[in-house]
Amino acid sequence: MKTAQAGTLESMDCIVTVTEAEKGRGISIVMEGASVARFGEAMVKATKDTLKSLGVRDIFVSIQDNGAGDLVLKARVEAAVRRLAGGKAA
Amino acid sequence: MRLRRTKLYLPGNNPNMLLRGHLFNPDGVILDLEDAVAVSEKDAARILVRDVLRRGDFGSCEVTVRINAMDTEFWRTDIETVVPCGIDGIRIPKVENPKDIALMDEALSQIESKAKIRVGKTLIFCLLETALGIWRAYDIAKASRRVAAICPGGEDLRADLKTTRSPNSEELIGPRRMVVLAAHAAGVDALDTVFADITDDAGLRRESEWVKQLGYQGKSVIHPNQIPIIHDVFTPTAKEIEQAKKIVEAAAEAAARGLGAVQVDGKMVDKPVVKRAEFTLQRAGLKAGGEK
Amino acid sequence: MAINAAGRNIPDSIPGYGEVRHFKGHDRRPPEGNRFGKRNRTAFNTRTDKTLPDIKAAISASGLKSGMTISFHHHLRNGDFVVNAVLDACAEMGIKDLVIFPTALFGVHKHLTKHIKSGVIRQIMGSVNGPIGQLASEGGMSVPVVLRSHGGRPRAVTSGEVVIDVAFIAAPTADKYGNLSGAVGRSACGSLGYAHSDAEYAQCVVAITDNLIPYPAPCIHIPQFFVDFVVSVDSIGDPAGIVSGTTRVTRDPMRLLIARNAAKLIEATPYFRDGISFQTGAGGISLAVAAYVRDAMREKGIKGSFGLGGITEFFVDMMKEGLFERLLDVQSFDLAAVKSIGENPNHVEISADWYANPWNAGCAVNMLDTVVLGATEVDRDFNVNVNTEADGALLHGIGGHQDTAAGAQLTIITTPLLRGRIPCAVDSVYTVSTPGEVVDAVVTEFGVAINPRRQDLINAAKEAGDVPLVTMDELIETAEKFTGPMSPVETEDRIIGVVEYRDGTVIDVVRQLKKK
């Protein structure tokens, strides 16, 4: 399975790791970090919105969060997905 | 005239600084896609910088992006990504050929008209980081109406001059003087390079005082703690402010009465002196500056 | 049930805590009763040696039994060995169901979790942190934790609301007849201020030392007539965890920015004048505020009167320089403060009673001009939370927060507006530790919000011109723009923590976290 990653664990950032999933498997997201308790729903929504706008339907996403807001999370998801598509796999 | 005492570099792949850097109240921020970003991270930084620019919350800072040099594969994608976000300007590293500036001008115009931004809105700040760039400073500054400032380099320039850093940066005395001369001859700002030792507050103050005396408008900044020191140096003293107020008031009064000549304390005052007094008040934060 | 003056819905009675006196607002509960203290006793001149061979012997001699209340001070901070050693001894002796009443607990006391789980400890009255806070928050204690401020605690002791059966006092130096000093010895910690009321009011006082010296000890902080037994052990603590070496001002730009904003506010107020008194913590932002204020005092030629509270090298140097006349020290944070309190008569040890108890004829915080405090959250009404974290877990004590805020003329809360994604300015804090009515300003990297109640300060700041003023509504809005809306903390109904205001009324409660 091809995998790609973007982001850092600096403050207000996150590491997003995306892994190819078979067609029809849908989107699965796992998250860890201090903000998950209060912002978990928002993080899922931001991730799904970004994937949708990039036309991704089947993917496995792992988020290691260190306080990223939606803006940063979305940018990291986009970068990771583009890397996956562009063959810059980790 | 826009106040450019401090231009703070914000590393392009660092969300914390990109989102909060303007809180340190520099006169401008430089979102950096060049040296602060590893080659393997250029793509991710570009996306992040784009989204932070779209959010567009930088207080009253002048917003510029340092793109990658024009001899790299990155610069076109850089400007295509950031210019449509409506930035104030781009900062181009390692400029040494006026033709490159003309090329950039054209590229910017295309992007601006496509993005329905006023053509010419995006200013150009040129980093002159080689001996050749310094030598051609005037021609570079004149290569496009977009050029707002030229800036001498630091470490790269030292390397190109085949020298190293000395305690008082004597090796950069000549280049700094050439750049300030070319800038004023071409009618653009002269902005100084960064002071690298972020723990040496006294050294930073000394260097700032010196470049201010040479005629520079400000410095680039690599650490937020340097900002208050540089502002302190470039902010006029109470005595200077008092004198400038007198001159500006006298000029306003003379204009209101339709007089051409301005008198302060019984002495005639020339137009450039009035202009300088206005600039002094602007630096003191007592008069709004520039386009904003 | 009643909605109290902080807007919190609190039951009239809480299992394991008892009847609730509802918080009715700052300074609204009049003092009650008298001070009497411990039962009288005598020591004939035939007993001139109070030493016992070990902690177990002292526990036996003290008459400690299951179900009783024992107290500790926290002057040894994260270096403390004594709390753990005493509870280990109690466990081995089969004593259980104890109420422990420390002035604060630290990370080193996570060792106590095993005694909580085994039932040696039934209840904690005092701050909890780290693993113990997590355990309590998840419902791991049968009785709620009771949190009191540094002034509320001696109030509870001197008024008889809490009766201490045995106080175990870690003493860096002691003589055989029970004179105790914090200023000397290999485990020196300086002031013993938090231990005074315990020494005076506990039914039995056991001193535990690792520096037993001939009678009489020098620099006596707690005198012999309070102390019943003395035990000598190999070590009461790890000096590295007791005091920090030198205290340096942070170079972190965000903290410095917040500190600079706070200092600008202080300089803009009428309190910045000759005779100013000042308290800050030892945290990064607080210390940086002190540094900026010191620079401004130098520049404007202003001489202060006293520095209060937890004392650092920074304050010691300011006194040496003549920027303070005196230091009133309830807790000495570093080596320089410890040395100074032992040598300099202008560096005065004060007890927690003297420092902050609202029920005496006047505590030190009442004489304070300016205090700089921290927060985990603040809200629209300027209420401050210092007890719980964003996930709803009880993780910090109140410290002197309520007391200094209530006493000082100018109470400044410094906090970053954003800690990662967590906003520190919110619509309503999760836990009210200090009521907004005693908070004057909140200072963040995004600007300074002054409590509208203090129009005088707003005017002064406007006049100064360099204070970046914003409203609390703006701070909350800015924070939310970054973070988006938060999901609520999910809790059970069960109350696991009771937050008392310094007057003994209940200002808020903390509920058990729902299992995920």
Whole-angstrom Cα distance, residue B227 to residue B235?
Answer: 12
> Are the Cβ atoms of C422 and A69 closer than 8 angstroms?
no
> Which chains would you list as touching A if contact means 3+ CB atom pairs under 8 Å?
B, C
Neighbours of C512 (CB within 10 A): 21
Mutation target to probe the A interface, by most A beta carbons within 10 A, among C421, C487, C489, C491 is C421
Whole-angstrom Cα distance, residue C405 to residue C419?
Answer: 23
Q: Which residues are within 8 A (CB) of C465 and not within 5 positions of it... i.e. 6 or more apart?
A: none
Angle between helices A70-85 and B42-55 (to 10 degrees): 150
Given a contact cutoff of 8 angstroms between Cβ atoms, the answer to whether C372 and C280 are in contact is yes
Cα distances from C346 to residues A12, C306, C325, C342, in angstroms, run 46, 10, 7, 10
> Are the Cβ atoms of C251 and B199 closer than 8 angstroms?
yes
Given a contact cutoff of 8 angstroms between Cβ atoms, the answer to whether B289 and B282 are in contact is yes
Work out the minimum CA distance from B65 to partner chain A, whole angstroms. 18
Tokens of C174: 């002691």
pLDDT tens, residue by residue, C420-476: 999 999 999 999 999 999 999 999 999 999 999 999 999 999 999 999 999 999 999
Work out the minimum CA distance from C323 to partner chain B, whole angstroms. 24
Name every chain A residue with its beta carbon within 8 A of the beta carbon of B13.
8
> Are the Cβ atoms of A7 and B44 closer than 8 angstroms?
yes
> Residue B84: pLDDT band by 50, 70, 90 thresholds?
very high
Question: Does C489 have pLDDT greater than 60?
Answer: yes
The answer for C381, left when phi > 0, alpha when psi is -120 to 50, beta otherwise, is alpha
pLDDT at B269: 83
Q: Tell me: domain C253-489, CATH 3.40.1080.10, correct?
A: yes
> Which chains would you list as touching C if contact means 3+ CB atom pairs under 8 Å?
A, B
Percentage of chain B surpassing pLDDT 70? 97
Given a contact cutoff of 8 angstroms between Cβ atoms, the answer to whether C280 and C287 are in contact is yes
H helices of chain B, where?
15-20, 42-55, 75-82, 98-114, 131-135, 137-142, 155-160, 173-186, 201-214, 227-234, 238-256, 271-283
Inform me whether the C-beta atom of residue B57 falls under 8 Å from chain A C-beta atoms: no
Tokens of B187: 């009618």
pLDDT tens, residue by residue, C261-291: 999 999 999 999 999 999 997 778 999 999 9
- The ranges assigned to domains in chain C are 49-125+162-242, 253-489
pLDDT at A90: 40
pLDDT tens, residue by residue, B122-167: 999 999 999 999 999 999 999 999 999 999 999 999 999 999 999 8
Cα distances from B86 to residues B14, B83, B116, B125, C31, in angstroms, run 21, 6, 10, 16, 64
Given a contact cutoff of 8 angstroms between Cβ atoms, the answer to whether C499 and C10 are in contact is no
Work out the minimum CA distance from A23 to partner chain C, whole angstroms. 31
pLDDT at B290: 34
Q: Which residues are within 8 A (CB) of C169 and not within 5 positions of it... i.e. 6 or more apart?
A: C72, C73, C180, C192, C195, C198, C199, C205, C206, C207, C208, C222, C227
Whole-angstrom Cα distance, residue B6 to residue B221?
Answer: 6
Specify burial of residue B79 (Cβ count, 10 A radius: 0-12, 13-18, 19+): buried
**C-alpha distance across the termini of chain A, in Å:** 11
Whole-angstrom Cα distance, residue B214 to residue B221?
Answer: 18
Read off the pLDDT of each residue in C195-199 and give the average, rounded to a whole number.
98
ipTM of the complex: 0.95
pLDDT at C264: 97
> Which chains would you list as touching B if contact means 3+ CB atom pairs under 8 Å?
A, C
Specify burial of residue B116 (Cβ count, 10 A radius: 0-12, 13-18, 19+): exposed
Given a contact cutoff of 8 angstroms between Cβ atoms, the answer to whether C101 and C126 are in contact is yes
pLDDT tens, residue by residue, B6-56: 999 999 999 999 999 999 999 999 999 999 999 999 999 999 999 999 999
CATH number of C49-125+162-242: 3.40.1080.10
Residue carrying the six token digits 């401008």: B28
Q: What are phi and psi of B4, to 5 degrees?
A: -135, 55
Read off the pLDDT of each residue in C79-87 and give the average, rounded to a whole number.
98
> Are the Cβ atoms of A65 and C421 closer than 8 angstroms?
yes
Work out the minimum CA distance from C441 to partner chain B, whole angstroms. 19
The count of C-alpha atoms lying within 13 angstroms of the C-alpha of C170, restricted to the half-sphere facing its C-beta, is 30
Work out the minimum CA distance from A85 to partner chain C, whole angstroms. 29
Question: Does C117 have pLDDT greater than 60?
Answer: yes
Helix (H) or strand (E) holding C70: strand C69-72
Q: Which residues are within 8 A (CB) of C65 and not within 5 positions of it... i.e. 6 or more apart?
A: C95
Whole-angstrom Cα distance, residue C332 to residue A57?
Answer: 60
A3-85 topology per CATH: Ribosomal Protein S5; domain 2 (3.30.230)
Of the candidates C143, C112, C150, the residue with the CA atom closest to the CA atom of residue C330 = C150
Query: Hey, which residues 6-45 in chain A have their CB within 8 Å of chain C?
Result: 11-12, 34-35, 37-42
> Are the Cβ atoms of B16 and A13 closer than 8 angstroms?
yes
Read off the pLDDT of each residue in C338-363 and give the average, rounded to a whole number.
97
Mutation target to probe the B interface, by most B beta carbons within 10 A, among A5, A8, A49, A53 is A8
- CA dihedral B168→B171→B174→B177, nearest 10 degrees, is -40
> Are the Cβ atoms of A12 and B44 closer than 8 angstroms?
no
Which DSSP string corresponds to B247-266?
HHHHHHHHHHTT-S-EEETT
pLDDT at C281: 79
> Are the Cβ atoms of C421 and A69 closer than 8 angstroms?
yes
What does DSSP say about strands B147-152 and B123-128: parallel, antiparallel, or unpaired?
parallel
